Amino acid sequence: MTTESTIQFTPERLAEAKEIIARYPEGRQKSALLPLLHLMQEQEGWTSTEGMDYIARMLDIQPIEVYEVATFYTMYHVQPVGKHVIEYCRTGPCCLMGGDDVLAHLKQRLGIETGQTTVDGQFTLKEVECLAACGMGPVFQVREQYYMHLTNDRVDEIIDELSKQA
């Protein structure tokens, strides 16, 4: 049983989704699942049950096949998130460069703990594992943007910049 969908791809993203599905051999359209989940998240900010059901129908697979994948991989937000999701690297090499202290400052600046969203809905803070930028640590990521060589001051600047974005 799937929910009636109020969520669907915009015409541009629908065209992109079809192009993605066509990349795989006949009958292997399920391979498009991870890319389509990214596309949905790019559009909606997170991957809701409705969004996942919509993708299941598009790929002609069971909704559970989408849920089990979306919950396995850490990049998909299966709960609503703030406008900017800060994904902070907590792994060893970044910690060696002072990552723990910068994280503490970031939490204080935002007034939230890891996993929480600011009351104004602007920022969600997530701790993630190694982002493959160890020589430039400490590092965090907001959507596709990497922010590297973080210091407390740099974090303040970034939060200021992001807060100004419409």
Partner 1 sequence: MTKKILTEHINVPGIETFDVYRQQGGYTAVEKALKTMTPDEIVEEVKKAGVRGRGGAGFPMGMKWSFLAKPEGVPRYLVCNADESEPGTFKDHYLMKHIPHLLIEGMIVSSFALGANKSFIYVRGELMYVIRILEKAIAEAKAKGFLGKNILGSGYDLELVVQPGGGAYICGEETALLESLEGKRGNPRNKPPFPAVKGLYQCPTVVNNVESIATTSWIINNGGDAYAAIGIGRSTGTKLISASGHMRKPGVYEIELGLPVEDFIYADEWCGGIRPGHKFKALVAGGSSVPILPANLALTLANGEKRLMSYESLSDGGFATGTMLGSGGFILFDETSCIVKNTWNFSRFYHHESCGQCSPCREGTGWMEKVLHRIEHGHGHQHDIDLLVDVSKKIEGNTICPLGDAAAWPVASAIRHFRDEFQWHIDHPTEATQPGAVYRGEMALV
Residue numbering of the annotated binding site: 89, 94, 130, 134
- Our finding on whether 112 is near partner 1 (CB under 8 A) is no
Helices (H), the chain: 11-21, 33-44, 49-59, 63-70, 92-96, 99-110, 152-164
The helix or strand, by DSSP H or E, that contains position 89, with its residue range, turns out to be strand 84-89
Sole binder of partner 1 in the list 64, 79, 129, 157 (CB under 8 A)? 129
* Distance of closest approach, residue 42 Cβ to partner 1, in angstroms: 9
For Cα atoms 108, 112, 116, give the angle at the middle one, nearest 5 degrees. 155
Nearer to partner 1, 121 or 135 (CB): 135
Sole binder of partner 1 in the list 69, 102, 103, 106 (CB under 8 A)? 69
CA atoms within 13 A on the CB side of 118: 19
* Distance of closest approach, residue 61 Cβ to partner 1, in angstroms: 8
- Nearest-10 Cα torsion for 29, 33, 35, 39: 110
> Do residues 125 and 88 touch, judged by C-beta distance below 8 A?
yes
* Distance of closest approach, residue 128 Cβ to partner 1, in angstroms: 7
- Our finding on whether 38 is near partner 1 (CB under 8 A) is yes
Give the footprint of partner 1 on this chain (CB under 8 A): 23-25, 28, 30-35, 37-38, 59, 61, 65, 68-69, 72-76, 87, 90-93, 95-97, 128-137, 141, 143-146
